[in-house]
Amino acid sequence: MRIAVVGSGYVGLVSGTCFADFGHVVTCIDSDEAKIEALNKGVMPIYEPGLDHLVANNTAAGRLLFTTDLAAAVSQAEAVFIAVGTPSRRGDGHADLSYVYAVARDVARNVKGFTVVVTKSTVPVGTGDEVERIIRETNPEADVAVVSNPEFLREGAAIEDFKRPDRIVVGIEDERARAVMTEVYRPLYLNKAPLVFTARRTSELIKYASNAFLAMKITFINEIADLCEAVGSNVQDVAHGIGLDNRIGGKFLHAGPGYGGSCFPKDTLALVKTAQDHGSPLRLIETTVAINDQRKRAMARKIVRAMGGDVRGRTVALLGLTFKPNTDDMRESPAISIVQGLQDAGARVRAYDPEGMEAAKAVVSDVAFGPDPYSIAEGVDALVLVTEWDAFRALDFPRLRLIMNDSLFIDLRNVYRRELIARHGFRYVSIGRPDEDITAALSTAAE
């Protein structure tokens, strides 16, 4: 099939590249000339493991093209995917759909013959109806079927998620679109990926409901972690114990500094706003959003407490800045609030991240960046693991002990065990696991 993907950001580039790898002929379109020029030279605008090789292979095979010429690509396509950004709108938190609607108008002017127009961007319920209205208004002669096909990609594992999905959700109102979308995803037949056809509005809601549920699950275990610290329990054991229940499952039960990224923060907020607008408020999701915002700010206070309550003039080094490993995405990362909180308390901040430092420079200031964990740790009063990159899972603690000013290691991802860190002479603070002072106090109380 001939497919056009409008928008060559995270979703569009990964989706278009994987479609090409299936054997379809795909043209990825973007209005950013510099981005398209870079892509044609093999330079990726994002960091996603394996994407550069996949792009190179399919470009060389002639199945993947990059252009700014929307008209030519759309006029030849059997399916056009809209994959532009839908950021939170300033002021009210609603999804900003201006880019989606602008593309709908451009597509309407250039389609030839029957074309399936697919909204791949994450959009609120009813967006497909408006996209169809815009297309009909712009070009009454256009023969199109407007479809919702939300993405469920995890940054850092997006290629695997696309090629081996849990499900493929397709919302249609025109039955002609069913055959086209089945053919688009036919290469996944051998993987037995369930192709779930629903009404268009239902498909749009499935995406938001999925992300909101996962965000709520993360927030739940983070609150349980706080309780574990207070009563002397271990949140990892609690998570394991409840996760063995098949009704609950073990995924997204890892306590940490709060969720971030391009999806959960904006999608939960957009769902809250949609529900409020329709007179059906989602109290659980409203609370989830509020708790997560508070938690990210609370992490800086946790570090300050671990350092004795006063960090003025002292130096803290952060390992990891991106909201999760295997991405360079800094959007809504907990590290942003941590840096700001530490600086507000008077601390000097250093940081290292394997991929995210360039992006971090745009959202944090007065941070001293270093080329590796050990260069930033020299002479610091505390070392804080913020993002669980593989590069931080086997740190040389004897070396760190020699170069740090104070032997305090704060693990906000529970990567290490206390006994290992203590063996190297470090004081260890983690999430949802009681420190030695609390354990001793609880034991004394019990006696």
* Domains of the chain by residue range: 2-197, 213-440
Per-residue tokens: 311: 């960090």
- Is residue 378 within 8 A of residue 405, CB to CB? The reply is no
Q: Which CATH superfamily is domain 213-440 in?
A: NAD(P)-binding Rossmann-like Domain (3.40.50.720)
Residue 206, C-beta contacts closer than 8 angstroms, at least 6 positions apart = 150, 169, 198
- Is residue 134 within 8 A of residue 105, CB to CB? The reply is yes
- CB pairs under 8 A, 24+ apart, for 16-19? 16/64, 16/81, 16/83, 17/51, 17/54, 17/55, 17/58, 17/64, 17/159, 18/54, 18/159, 18/162, 18/163, 19/184
CA-closest candidate to residue 432, choices 258, 230, 214, 287? 230
CA distance 431 to 296: 13
The residue among 435 and 432 whose pLDDT is bigger is 432
Strand partners, 27: 4, 65
The reply to whether 2-197 and 213-440 are identical in fold is yes
| pLDDT value at residue 438 | 44
Summarize the confidence of residues 49-65 as an average pLDDT: 97
Residue 444, pLDDT > 60, answer no
End-to-end CA distance of the chain: 73
Which of the four pLDDT bands, split at 50, 70 and 90, describes residue 436?
low
Q: Give per-residue pLDDT as tens, 188-234.
A: 977 777 999 999 999 999 999 999 999 999 999 999 999 999 999 99
Which class does domain 2-197 fall in? Answer: alpha beta
- CA–CA distances in Å: residue 322 to residues 219, 354, 371: 19, 9, 16
Per-residue tokens: 307: 């350092």
Per-residue tokens: 364: 């944090």
Residue 389, pLDDT > 60, answer yes
| Active site amino acids | 263
What's the whole-number average pLDDT of the chain?
A: 95
Q: Give per-residue pLDDT as tens, 345-364.
A: 999 999 999 999 999 999 99
Q: Give per-residue pLDDT as tens, 404-417.
A: 999 999 999 999 99
HSE of 214, CA atoms in CB hemisphere, 13 A = 15
HSE of 435, CA atoms in CB hemisphere, 13 A = 14
Which of the four pLDDT bands, split at 50, 70 and 90, describes residue 445?
very low
